[in-house]
Structure 1
Amino acid sequence: MTLNRIQTIHPLLRDELNEIYKEILNRGVGVRFTDVLRSFETQRQLYAKGRTSPGPKVTYAKEGRSYHNYGLAVDIVLLRPDKSVSWDIDKDFDNDNISDWLEIVSVFKEYGWKWGGDWSKFKDYPHFEKNLGYTINQLESKYKNNEFTVKPYLSL
């Protein structure tokens, strides 16, 4: 599942994300990548939650305003030893006295990724992104100008 999702990250980040995944596993931490490339339609539906559709708000990013829309972001969840999932950022399933979540954060940061848990307005603990030097406005402009290498990936 995670390996298939890694294949949806922007091609410029694919090898790096594979390395990150291997490093996390080498540290004894179970992880699943839950969301990588996200369509504009899916983003629209997520943005509607808590606004025009039932449920709590899950994002502040409209379609085209998320790094997921360009294959430059990934969301994660912990895997317990029994392979069930956990979003508990304090758990230490590998019993090394370090939160598994923070071990994952450490690996992503070693590769220069930004963590949503560091944001001041809306803490998005499962979220990591690497913008490759592009603002969301620049990416949206490239999208509108049809600057693709191979759809859905922008020429970066």
Structure 2
Amino acid sequence: MSDLSLDKLLKKAENKLQNVHEIVQEKSYELIRQAYKESIFIVITEGFRSIEQQHKLYSQGRTTPGSIVTNAKGGYSYHNYGLAIDIALLDNNGEVDWTIDRRWNKAGEVGKRIGLEWGGD
């Protein structure tokens, strides 16, 4: 369980939160802390994205191979302005777990409680 210490999760978030608005950074750390208390282990998978990166993501599943992952063209995503984060949940072994279960809903509730919008709605 040492791999999933709160300090390690917070440290892991630092890199992904560069160029993210200060208030969003603070709320991201708070989300990780509050969820941790409920045994929900959150990692930030994405923060700021350049408009060029957003264009590339938008073309995925449209003009380039892969699944569609966003409906926002470059310049139309909150990520392009440092105002959004994407998260994933880790299992007890520290591996990303994409299983949609009560933990996701609880993470969303925690986020909304601290003033974030939850894209899962």
Equivalent residue number for residue 51 of structure 2? 40
Q: Normalising by the residue count of structure 2, what TM-score does the alignment of the two structures yield? A: 0.83
- What aligned pairs does 1:24-39 form with structure 2 within 5 A after superposition? 24-39=35-50
Structure 1 residue 117, shift from structure 2 partner:
1.9
**Matched residue, 2:118:** 115
Measured after TM superposition, the shift of residue 112 of structure 1 is: 2.2
Q: Deviations over 1:4-40 (max 9, x none)?
A: 2234321232222222221111221111110111111
Aligned match of 1:102: 105
- The one-character-per-residue Cα deviations of 1:46-105 (angstroms, maximum 9, x if unpaired) are 001111101121111000000011111111111011111111111xxxxxxxx1111110
Amino acid at match of 1:111: I
CA distance in 2, matches of 1:24, 1:66: 25
- Structure 2 spans left out of the alignment, 5+ residues: 1-11
> Structure with the greater relative contact order (CA < 8 A, sep ≥ 6): 1 or 2?
2
Is 1:14 paired with 2:25? yes
User: How many correspondences in the alignment?
Assistant: 110
Q: How many Å separate the matches in 2 of 1:44 and 1:89?
A: 28
Give the aligned partner of residue 50 of structure 1.
Answer: 61
Extract unaligned runs of 5+ from structure 1.
91-98, 119-156
Identity across matched positions, percent: 41
Rounded Cα–Cα distance in structure 2 between residues aligned with 1:12 and 1:2: 14
SS in 2 for 1:73: coil
Deviation at 1:42?
Answer: 0.8
* Structure with larger Rg: 1
Distance, in Å, in 2 between the alignment partners of 1:66 and 1:78 is 22
Give the ranges of 4+ consecutive aligned residues of structure 1 lying more than 3 Å apart after TM superposition.
none
- Structure 2 counterpart of 1:112, one-letter code: G
Q: Over the residues paired in the alignment, what is the CA RMSD in angstroms?
A: 1.3
Higher helix share: 2
Q: TM-score scaled to structure 1, two decimals?
A: 0.66
Whole-Å separation in 2 of the counterparts to 1:19 and 1:115: 15
Partners of 2:91 and 2:103 lie apart in 1 by: 10
